[in-house]
Structure 1
Amino acid sequence: MALTYLRHQLHLHRHKIIGFFLLALLSSGQQTLAQGKLKGENLPGYEHKRLRWGFSLGVNASWYQLEHSELYVEAIKSNPDFSVNEKTGIGFNVNFISSYRLSPDFVLRAQPGVGYHSRAIEYKGMPADDDNGIAGGDVTQEMNTFAGELPLLVKYESKRRKNSQMYFIAGVKPSLVVGGQKKGSEYLQVKSLDFAVEYGVGLDMFYPFFKFAPEIRYSRGISNIHKPSPGMFNNSIQQLNTNTITLYLNFE
């Protein structure tokens, strides 16, 4: 797929992606501070509204955190060149936003939407498995999936200063894969349902007709989504957890 090809061509590793997201958020904050010096207060009292609606667009970096199985430990004793490691991929998110104010400082947010995630497991020096039709060698199992997601979050807002305010956000996110999974022993098998905890930081920026908020959020899957199945692609792993860092652009 085009996104996977781009990742390989540009050598986009996890730490570089995280750094890019942080720089984008800081850049947005600097622009807001400059704007506040030039203009008066936009949307006065908007931060006190009880119910708000909007949408968000996001770009994410996703990877699996894996735990090797006992079979893998035995395999590397006879084949030291054999290794199984995760790789990071790039994806995107599209979400709706529904916010309800609980108190002057706290807001409850539901953010249902769809996420595209590109994750991969790299197998190097894998032994052949004729029974399951696996030739062996160096193989990368890519998992490019679409998932329906329902983040339920609590947002803590700082005091508004002219046209900006910082906030912290945290909550949970159940998700269900709706497309992209492959079946068969020649593919890595994962469960469709996942449950994650999320937390992050953002900056509300008030414009004359809408509120814009860049936000960076980390998501950690707490359920084991590995599905036991025959073949070295699956037998080498006993636990898989999802990890995602997303830069959201929220509009309300």
Structure 2
Amino acid sequence: MASTYIWHKLYLYRTKISLLTLLAILIVAPAADAQKRINTLNKPDYDFKTIHYGFYLAAPLTRYHIQHSQEYADQLAADPAGGEGVINVNTKFSPGFYTGLVLNVRVADNLDARFVPGVGFYSRKIEFANMPQETGEVQTEDKTISSTMVELPFLLKFKAKRRSNARMYLVAGVKPGIDLGSARSDENPDRGLAVEKFDVALEYGFGVDMFYPFFKFAPELRFSHGLINQHKLTQSQYSRLLQKQTNHNISLILFFE
């Protein structure tokens, strides 16, 4: 009797039971599929290959780190209050762009050697406030030095343990570079700035390797500090106010390997 009663109830509520069952399937199935995707390693044999290739795109913020000359210090000492006759020289951050190729060589389980040659396009600015003009007036001028650099970074990459399809890493190394042109702010030697053609920079940064089914994507934040004085002394009054310029970059780099 009890069994008949139960089947009778199930028959009465068969529509509701069917809808609830269908709803449960619609909820559980996507969740199970998502969990399966999370647990699936993309490119599981990636780290066992000796050599990898790729390319990168980078957006740097760049500026000069400057040291003022004795002539600058003397004119400042003559007017400690910093009146209108005092020239002030400061640098500004400017955007740039560089791109290149990647050759990555596996050295050990958690260590890679990387050669990432590229071409960079930079425009670095130095602001000269209260500069005397030929008309006798003073005004603020921005001197922009544009350069096209061939850069040859050699880096070591220290990798953390891979967690599913991502891992953190650190990178550090040196970056030699050569300017393809004669970089200067003005063709007029009496009113322009000029810089050296060669540079070497110390670089370091961090990033995240993210593995996808067909490639690895890695956003990286890298800092670059030039080691060679780029200032080339000329007879220009602008040039005489400086004695040292070194290149400094903060770059967001996107790697595709």
TM value normalised by structure 1: 0.80
Look up the match of 1:238.
Answer: 243
**Equivalent in 229, 232, 242 of residue 227 of structure 1:** 232
Q: CA deviation at 1:189?
A: 1.1
Deviations 1:79-125 (A, max 9, x none): 63310000110011111000001111110000000011121000001
Deviations 1:112-170 (A, max 9, x none): 00011121000001234x6xx99752111011221100000000011111101110000
How has the CA–CA distance of structure 1 residues 72 and 203 changed in structure 2, closer, same or farther, with 3 Å as cutoff?
same
Q: Secondary structure at 2:101's aligned position in 1?
A: strand
Counterpart CA distance in 2 for 1:35 and 1:213 is: 23
How has the CA–CA distance of structure 1 residues 188 and 134 changed in structure 2, closer, same or farther, with 3 Å as cutoff?
farther
Q: CA deviation at 1:37?
A: 6.8
Determine what percentage of the aligned residue pairs are the same residue: 37
**Equivalent in 204, 208, 224 of residue 203 of structure 1:** 208
Matches within 5 A, 1:46-57: 46-57=46-57
Counterpart CA distance in 1 for 2:136 and 2:235 is: 11
How has the CA–CA distance of structure 1 residues 55 and 35 changed in structure 2, closer, same or farther, with 3 Å as cutoff?
farther
Larger Cα Rg: Structure 1 or Structure 2?
2
TM value normalised by structure 2: 0.79
Q: Secondary structure at 2:96's aligned position in 1?
A: strand
Look up the match of 1:140.
Answer: 142
Matched, 1:214 2:216: no
Contiguous gaps of at least 5 residues in structure 1: 1-33
Q: CA deviation at 1:47?
A: 1.7
Contiguous gaps of at least 5 residues in structure 2: 1-33
* Number of residues of Structure 1 aligned to a counterpart in Structure 2: 216
AA aligned to 2:60 is: N
Counterpart CA distance in 1 for 2:104 and 2:254 is: 15
How has the CA–CA distance of structure 1 residues 51 and 134 changed in structure 2, closer, same or farther, with 3 Å as cutoff?
farther
Q: What is the aligned-residue RMSD (CA, Å)?
A: 2.1
Deviations 1:194-218 (A, max 9, x none): 1100000010000000000000000
